[in-house]
Amino acid sequence: MPESDSPVDTTATTVAEIMSTPVVTTGPDATIATAAEQMRHRKVGSVVIVDDGRPIGILTERDLVRIAAAGADASSDPVGEWMTPDPDWVARGASVSDAFMSLAEHGYRHIPVVDDKQLVGIVSMRDLMRIAQIQPAENLAHEIPKGLEGVVVAETVIGDVRGLEGFSHYRQYSAVDLAERRTLEDVWYLMFDRELPTLAERDAFIDEIRPLREIPGDVADALPTLARLGGDAPPLDMLRTTYSLFATSLAFAPSLDVPAAELRQQALRTCAVIPTLLMALYRLRNGREPVAPHPDLSYAANYLYMLTGETPPPEHARAVEQYLISTIDHGFNSSTFTARVITSTGADLGSAIVGAIGALSGPLHGGAPGRALDMLDSIGTLDNAEPWLRDAVARGDRLMGFGHRVYKTDDPRSTMLRGVAERLGGDKVELAKAIEAKAIEVLTELKPGRKLYTNVEFYAGIVMDTCGVPREMFTPTFASSRAIGWCAHVLEQAADNRLIRPSAQYVGPPPPQPVPDPA
């Protein structure tokens, strides 16, 4: 049975109760290629090498990496030459916490379980980590990188990011290819319904979402007051508040109680109305009447239309559309994870989206494109670039629009948007390209080994600025497209839900301390 699928009894106290069995085994003469294929086929991270039922060695995924690096011939070299011989083991009656300590202390990920010298099972760190009772987790913390970097927290069929390759995909398609070849509506359909639409499906989908762009009457009536009360609050904060009112007014019920078709309908309505809410609030705060959505315009053209009241040039609508498509989804980024955590509690879709908007508002996540353009303005000229950038990095400032948790090479969205910016032209593009090159030079020199390159936000600002989107609306525009990704994740989480409830390592003064009387 694959380890990850093993039903783990969270009340278990002995290894026998949680071990995986039968164990994937092989003899010492089997080739490395055969053993690797066994691991892949049985979806396990190790193979135990046995002789007459006794475990004489273990070969793990980590060993395979080592073997490949050493240039071994996997098709002919026997595992006996590469296995870890005489592996540590635990008795089937050993306690779960002893097994945990043994794994954690030695840094093992798998440990064979033995009874009367015979191999009877295998227990993995993953099995043990699924048991809450192994607290306190002093050693566990060594396994959990700060910021959860690289930690896999769920399975998804929505998409992924491959940071080392500089590649991201929605479903099975490259996100950049989709942005080059398809409309936003097509990609929205793909995110919700798993397939790209046919022409007829596209038309039906557009008909389905067109009326959902309208703001319900009672919410529309409240907007002038909300815009006034909001004062100078950032537009994303205003969206958070107003969207929350919208979801409440439509009585979105806990996702746990909502059938899948109704949840999809709520998700469609959410993604369709967010641009209208954003633009209505923006105009009201600037003393202008909201512009109602245009039924005949695409999502992107309508987005710009509701900003100005005029049909935008097609090249602007397409440029903004390509930006919007490229930011719909991006792995388990902070706001998407937030939406999934909230959904995992069974809460309503509105709560998940409100939480995600909050997470996105931080400058380390969605708040960068305006700041990236501020940085370009502040640098001003190419001559000023090098001293400005050096000073900033030396001071410990972050260059906005650079660096990424996952990409350790060019962000493919940034490369695409550089092309979009070049196509649009404009006075900022050449300066931006020169500053980008200088910034990478400076980061490579002053932050060696960190692999800091341009992220999606750097050229996003240029593209939106050229298309007439005001700077304060950059992050809200990002929220508008990302809402489609959030909703796709809410639907996926709700369809196969389990409460997301991790643990933390307590590092404060040892409890229990006597509670002092008030001094």
Please pick, from the candidates 54, 126, 202, 398, the single residue that binds ligand ACO as defined by CB under 6 A.
398
Stretch that binds ligand ACO, among 19-27, 220-228, 317-325, 361-369 (CB under 6 A): 361-369
Q: Does 365 bind ligand ACO (CB under 6 A)?
A: yes
Q: Which is nearer to ligand ACO, 181 or 450 (CB)?
A: 450
Length of the chain: 519
Please pick, from the candidates 109, 433, 447, 471, the single residue that binds ligand ACO as defined by CB under 6 A.
447
- In the numeric block, the tokens 């508008």 are attached to 480
Q: Which residue is nearest to ligand ACO (CB)?
A: 403
Please pick, from the candidates 370, 403, 476, 485, the single residue that binds ligand ACO as defined by CB under 6 A.
403
- Output the smallest distance, CB 142 to ligand ACO, in A: 18
Q: Which of 185, 222, 137, 150 is nearest to 405 (CA)?
A: 150
> Is the distance from CB of 353 to CB of 483 less than 8 angstroms?
yes
Q: Does 166 bind ligand ACO (CB under 6 A)?
A: no
Q: Does 185 bind ligand ACO (CB under 6 A)?
A: no
- Cα–Cα dist 298/304, whole Å: 10
- Cα–Cα dist 471/310, whole Å: 19
Say how many residues touch ligand ACO, by CB under 6 A. 21
Q: Does 368 bind ligand ACO (CB under 6 A)?
A: yes
CA angle 319, 323, 327 (to 5 degrees): 165
- Cα–Cα dist 173/413, whole Å: 14
Please pick, from the candidates 293, 401, 476, 485, the single residue that binds ligand ACO as defined by CB under 6 A.
401
- Which of the following is catalytic: 404, 436, 489, 492? 404
> Is the distance from CB of 250 to CB of 258 less than 8 angstroms?
no
- Output the smallest distance, CB 147 to ligand ACO, in A: 6
**Distant-in-sequence contacts of 3-7, Cβ < 8 A, 24+ apart:** 3/43, 3/44, 3/45, 3/122, 3/124, 3/126, 3/127, 4/43, 4/126, 5/43, 6/127
Annotated active-site residue 404? The verdict is yes
Stretch that binds ligand ACO, among 299-307, 340-348, 395-403, 417-425 (CB under 6 A): 395-403
> Is the distance from CB of 446 to CB of 393 less than 8 angstroms?
yes
Please pick, from the candidates 328, 373, 376, 456, the single residue that binds ligand ACO as defined by CB under 6 A.
456
- Output the smallest distance, CB 87 to ligand ACO, in A: 35
Q: Which is nearer to ligand ACO, 55 or 461 (CB)?
A: 461
- Cα–Cα dist 150/167, whole Å: 16
Q: Does 455 bind ligand ACO (CB under 6 A)?
A: yes
Binding string, residues 458-497; x marks residues near ligand ACO by CB under 6 A: ----------------------------------------
Binding string, residues 112-151; x marks residues near ligand ACO by CB under 6 A: -----------------------------------x----
Annotated active-site residue 457? The verdict is yes
Q: Does 159 bind ligand ACO (CB under 6 A)?
A: no
Q: Which is nearer to ligand ACO, 36 or 421 (CB)?
A: 421
Cα-Cα end-to-end distance for the chain: 60
- Which of the following is catalytic: 3, 185, 457, 492? 457
Q: Does 110 bind ligand ACO (CB under 6 A)?
A: no
Q: Does 457 bind ligand ACO (CB under 6 A)?
A: yes
Question: Residue 470 to residues 232, 320, 369, 466: CA-CA distances in angstroms?
Answer: 15, 13, 11, 10
- Cα–Cα dist 312/305, whole Å: 6
Q: What is the largest CA-CA distance in the chain?
A: 84
Stretch that binds ligand ACO, among 118-126, 132-140, 315-323, 393-401 (CB under 6 A): 393-401
H or E element in which residue 170 lies: strand 167-170
Residue 51 φ/ψ, nearest 5 degrees: -135, 115
Q: Does 161 bind ligand ACO (CB under 6 A)?
A: no
Q: Does 326 bind ligand ACO (CB under 6 A)?
A: no
- Output the smallest distance, CB 91 to ligand ACO, in A: 42
- Output the smallest distance, CB 508 to ligand ACO, in A: 24
Q: Which two tokens mark 222?
A: 């409240």
- Cα–Cα dist 477/236, whole Å: 9
> Is the distance from CB of 191 to CB of 175 less than 8 angstroms?
no
Query: What residues line the site for ligand ACO (CB under 6 A)?
Result: 147, 364-366, 368, 393, 398-405, 443, 447, 450, 452, 455-457
Which of the residues are catalytic?
Answer: 404, 457
